[in-house]
Chains A and B, each alone.
Chain A
Amino acid sequence: MRPFSGHVLAFLLGTLVLTTAQATDQWPTPPASKPPDQVSGPLTGGTGDHSKYEALKQPFSSGPEVTKACLSCHTETGKHFMKNIHWTWEYRNPETGQLLGKKHLVNNFCTNARGNEGMCAQCHAGYGWKDESFDFSDETNIDCLVCHETTGTYYKTPNSEGSPACSVMFEDMAPIDYNLVAQSVGLPQRANCGTCHFHGGGGDNVKHGDLSSALTNPPRDLDVHMDAKGLNFACTACHITKSHIWAGSRYHVIAKDEKGTGKPGERRDVATCESCHGNEPHPVDSLAPFKLNDHISSVACQTCHIPEYARGGVATETDWDWRTAGKTRNGEGYHEHGYTQGNGEERYTYKSIKGTFTYGENLVPLYRWFDGQMNYTTIDTKFDVTKPVAINDFTGSREDPRSRIWPFKRMTTWMPADMGNGTLVYNHLWGQDEDSYWGNYDMGKSIAHGMKAFNLPYSGEYGFVKTYSYWPITHMVAPKEQALDCADCHSKNGRLQGVEGVYMPGRDNNRWLDLIGIIAVAGTFLVILGHALVRIFSPKGAKH
């Protein structure tokens, strides 16, 4: 009786809530309010209201002035911040010793930021980096606003003018109301991080494939954690922060986290799934979850739970061809539309300054064993120009205890290289001078300039090499109903077809054994048949 009346009560209450919700939905004008704060981990909530602080009411006319005001209360933050990669753009891999970071690397999208900071350092969390003279020790050069302002009216423009052909793009923008943005500060929202991270590679979702503007306000389908109407996680809910150092790095991936959630109350400064979900994440209510929990040691969570990337209507680039760059019409650069993505927006398929692009959406990742270690082809790495070059290669195998099977986006790009020396090149893309590629379209000149500026050896002979880069897929976690099914991998020509080093039932079989087995069964059948026939037709044996 009790449970029954309970159900009735729950039902009645449910209807009540539903009807009131419907009633508010039908208001002619819904009450204007700020969207609820995203969940940002332990710091959520805060203890102060920045619109009440005197320091933020003084007149500001520039970003650094705001920074000074921030630092007047947050006295240690400048020192903390200067250690993190958003500021240094530099990372020394402790295991390989490679000097990495945006400051040094060449990728196979817009190639090199080095020498082009006037443009590229729009995404540096600082003010005014346009060349080697930038002062990394001046705290007032830190840009607090880009990460913390919450009005969405703050923006950044290139730190140097660049060619007139390009700078037109940044004219006529509404002036920034510094007091408004300064008083709006809070913990970073998805839109803050997204300003740069959704636009890596030169446009929305161009680079990663799993980081796009669709995550600014994603539905549950696109990302269960960031679901704006559900859990509403900010990026920092997972990329937890201590003294302005974030957990989670692509330069140093934890491919397999065996520590899980840690001890009660223990804080783990990692962004792994396991750090929240533990090492037995599937509730064991039948046999399958028991097997799924076993798979944790071989298969990254992302492999099953991110069935496709570049979802949510925003395409990613899969191929880029720099060989076609530089075409002009009447001496001027141009661009062509040619791809309409899921959300209806047009994407460029050709740009004089960059070449030809191919896009994709809802893509099935590439799956490989991955130990978390990326090896980069840096500006001083020599390679064979006749073969495809991996810009960032990775290792991993079944035998390696740190490795698991991970999903990747693979980017293919034909990009400029020094054919004589067999190295990548620093291209001088951005500048007011006659050599910058963007505006002048002479790659011979721009490469020579880019290499000379950093005293790098250059044979004088440039050409194009085919390159790959690999991007571990880890965002856009789908709801559990959409996770992969066993048979997606445990089948012939399934998702893990290319993964080596392990026998998977359903995918693999021993051809000889199957052949012998089938012959044995068929043979037995024939012998039985023969025996039976002889019995039936032999005169005396009819009965038996």
Chain B
Amino acid sequence: MTIRRVRIFSLFERFWHWTQMFLILVLMFSGFGLHGFHHLLDFKQAVTLHTLAAFLLLLLWAFSIFWLFTTRNWRHFIPTVKGMWQVLRFYSFGIFQGEHHPYRKAYWRKHNPLQALAYLMLKIVLFPLIWISGLAYLFYFLWRDIPHATQVLDGVALVHTGAAFTIVVFVMIHVYMLTTGHSFKEHVMPMISGFDDVDLSPEEEAYLLKDEPGVIR
């Protein structure tokens, strides 16, 4: 096994990540603005911005889902317990002892097991919660005449705001995690340049060198 610098994030993935980050920040800012936590935007501006950003994000997600499944990249997010314990132990103890992060990126496993699980939950629980409740919220006037519509609306607002708080927590932890292990910069760079250290098997290395020379340095 050799550690090589390999392009693990394609251009689309990087575009996706940073656009998603930007849109989620806009949604957080405008969402909590219209919720009444700040008054930097008036309600009309906040709703307009929020809805616009939401549509863009949905569009981005539609592309990303297509991309994940057509490129087989979805496999990075299959949950696994292999190595989970070591990672948990590292963040709780090892990190304070100057240990190195136990996880080595593999070509078909670019996230550590904790990361993979966290991102998976984000993708299949939190994001669907927020967009389904968000769309229901947006189109309230289409279903306002069903029985118990007001209670349903209460629930929609509850789920949406609850998911929003959870996303804030996620973002905080996510950003903090970047400061662990290597330096912050080293963590962020792969999402910019696309390249990171990956533990390659000889076969993978040989394959990449021969067939995908642009992906390996």
**What 1/0 mask marks residues of chain A from 491 to 531 whose CB sits below 8 Å from any chain B CB?**
11000000001110110111001101100110011001001
Interface size on A, residues (CB 8 A): 44
Q: Is A433 an interface residue (CB 8 A)?
A: no
Is A152 an interface residue when CB atoms closer than 8 A count as contact? no
Q: Is A503 within 8 A of B97, CB to CB?
A: no
A538 touches B96 (CB 8 A): yes
B165 touches A517 (CB 8 A): yes
A421 within 8 A of B: no
B161 adjacent to chain A (CB < 8 Å): yes
Q: B34's contact among A506, A538, A543, by CB below 8 Å, is which?
A: A506
B180 engages A544 (CB within 8 Å): yes
Partner of B35, one of A287, A506, A516: A506
Q: Cα distance A286–B47 when bound, in Å? A: 12
Of B42, B98, B141, B157, which one neighbours A510 at CB under 8 angstroms? B157
Complex formed: what's the CA distance from A501 to B165 in Å? 25
B145 interface residue per 8 A CB criterion: yes
Query: Is A528 a contact partner of B176 (Cβ separation < 8 A)?
Result: yes
- In chain B, positions 140-182 with a C-beta closer than 8 Å to chain A are 140-141, 144-145, 150, 153-154, 157-158, 161-162, 164-166, 168-169, 172-173, 176, 179-181
Closest B residue to A293 by CB, please name it.
B141
Alpha-carbon gap, A320 to B34, bound state (A): 41
The answer to whether residues A287 and B48 also contact, given A491-B43, A535-B95 and a CB cut-off of 8 A, is: yes
Cα–Cα, bound, A505→B31 (Å): 10
Q: Using Cβ atoms and an 8 Å threshold, which residues of chain A touch B140?
A: 294
Q: Which of A188-196, A241-249, A324-332, A482-490 contacts B (4 or more CB under 8 A)?
A: A482-490
Instruction: Kindly state whether residue B210 has any CB partner on chain A within 8 Å.
Output: no
Partner of B96, one of A291, A298, A535: A535
Tell me if B36 counts as interface (CB < 8 A to partner A).
yes
Label chain B's interface by main secondary structure. Answer: helix
Contact B141 A524 (CB under 8 A): no
The residues of B that contact A297 with a CB separation of less than 8 Å are 141, 144-145
Q: Assess A487 versus B44: contact at CB under 8 Å? Given A541-B97, A541-B98.
A: yes
* CB pair A294 B42 closer than 8 Å: no
Contacts of B141 in A (CB 8 A): 294-295, 297-298
- Having A528-B176, A541-B95, one finds 4 other A-B pairs with CB under 8 Å, namely A297-B141, A503-B150, A521-B168, A535-B180
Residues on B with C-beta less than 8 A from A298 are 141, 144
A-B contact pairs, 25 of them (CB 8 A): A286-B48, A294-B141, A298-B144, A485-B43, A487-B44, A490-B43, A501-B150, A502-B150, A503-B153, A503-B157, A505-B137, A506-B34, A506-B43, A508-B157, A510-B157, A520-B166, A521-B165, A524-B173, A535-B95, A535-B180, A538-B96, A540-B97, A541-B95, A544-B98, A544-B100
Say yes or no: is A43 at the interface (Cβ < 8 Å to chain B). no
A521 in contact with B96 (CB, 8 Å): no
Task: Give 4 nearest A-B pairs by CB, closest first.
Answer: A517-B165, A540-B98, A294-B141, A487-B43
A398 in complex: contacting residue of B34, B100, B150, B164, CB < 8 Å: B150
B contact residues around A286 at 8 Å (CB): 48
B-side contacts of A521, CB under 8 Å:
165, 168-169, 172
Q: Are B96 and A528 in contact (CB under 8 A)?
A: no
Which residues of chain B have C-beta atoms less than 8 A from A486's C-beta? 42-44, 47
**Once bound together, how far apart are the Cα atoms of A291 and B51, in whole Å?**
11
List residues of chain B with CB under 8 Å of any chain A CB.
Answer: 34-36, 42-44, 47-48, 51-52, 95-100, 137, 140-141, 144-145, 150, 153-154, 157-158, 161-162, 164-166, 168-169, 172-173, 176, 179-181
> Do B165 and A532 touch across chains, with their CB atoms under 8 A apart?
no
Q: Roughly how many angstroms separate A298 CA and B181 CA in the complex, as a whole number?
A: 55
* Cβ distance B58 to chain A, nearest Cβ, rounded Å: 15
Cα–Cα, bound, A502→B154 (Å): 8
Residue of A nearest to B101 (CB): A544
List the A side residues contacting B51 at CB < 8 Å.
287
Say yes or no: B144 contacts A506, CB within 8 Å. Answer: no
B42/A509 in contact, CB under 8 A: no
Question: Is A534 at the interface (CB under 8 A from chain B)?
Answer: yes
Whether the Cβ atoms of A491 and B48 lie closer than 8 Å is: no
Nearest to B49 among chain A residues (CB) is A287
| B180 contact set on A, CB distance < 8 A | 535, 544
Q: Does B173 contact A528, Cβ atoms closer than 8 Å?
A: yes
Question: Is the beta-carbon distance between A287 and B52 smaller than 8 angstroms?
Answer: yes
- Whether a CB of chain B sits under 8 angstroms from the CB of A17 is no
Across the two chains, which residue of chain A brings its CB closest to B155?
A: A503
Query: Are the C-beta atoms of B172 and A538 separated by less than 8 Å?
Result: no
**A42 contacts chain B at the CB level, 8 A cutoff:** no
Q: Is A288 an interface residue (CB 8 A)?
A: yes
- Using Cβ atoms and an 8 Å threshold, which residues of chain A touch B34? 490, 505-506
Which residues of A sit under 8 angstroms from B99, Cβ to Cβ?
544
Inter-chain contacts of B164 with A (CB < 8 A):
517
Residue numbers in A under 8 Å from B95 (CB-CB) = 535, 541, 544
Is residue A388 within 8 Å, beta carbon to beta carbon, of the partner chain? no
Q: CA of A517 to CA of B36 in the docked complex: distance in angstroms?
A: 14
The reply on A542 being an interface residue by CB < 8 A is yes
A401 on interface, CB distance cutoff 8 Å:
yes
Q: Shortest CB–CB separation between residue A126 and chain B, in angstroms?
A: 46
Which residues does chain A contribute within 8 Å of B96, judged by CB atoms?
534-535, 538, 540-541
User: How distant is A376 from chain B, measured CB to nearest CB, in Å?
Assistant: 30
**Shortest Cβ distance from A134 into chain B, in angstroms?**
49
Residue ID in chain A nearest B159 by CB atoms: A513
Specify which chain B residues have a CB less than 8 angstroms from the CB of A492 in the assembled complex.
Answer: 36
Closest Cβ–Cβ distance, residue A67 to chain B (whole Å): 51
Cβ-closest chain B residue relative to A541: B96
Verify A485–B44 contact, CB threshold 8 A: yes
Contacts of A535 in B (CB 8 A): 95-96, 180
- Contact between chains at A509 and B35 (CB < 8 Å): yes
Q: A487-B42, A491-B36, A503-B154 are in contact. Are A520 and B165 (CB under 8 A)?
A: yes
Q: Once the chains are docked, how many angstroms separate the CA of A486 from the CA of B48?
A: 11
Q: Which residues of B contact A503 (CB under 8 A)?
A: 150, 153-154, 157
Specify which chain B residues have a CB less than 8 angstroms from the CB of A534 in the assembled complex: 96
B contact residues around A525 at 8 Å (CB): 172
How far is the CB of B44 from the nearest CB of chain A, in Å? 4
Chain B residue at minimal CB-CB distance from A494: B43
Can you name the residue of chain B whose Cβ is closest to the Cβ of A538? B96
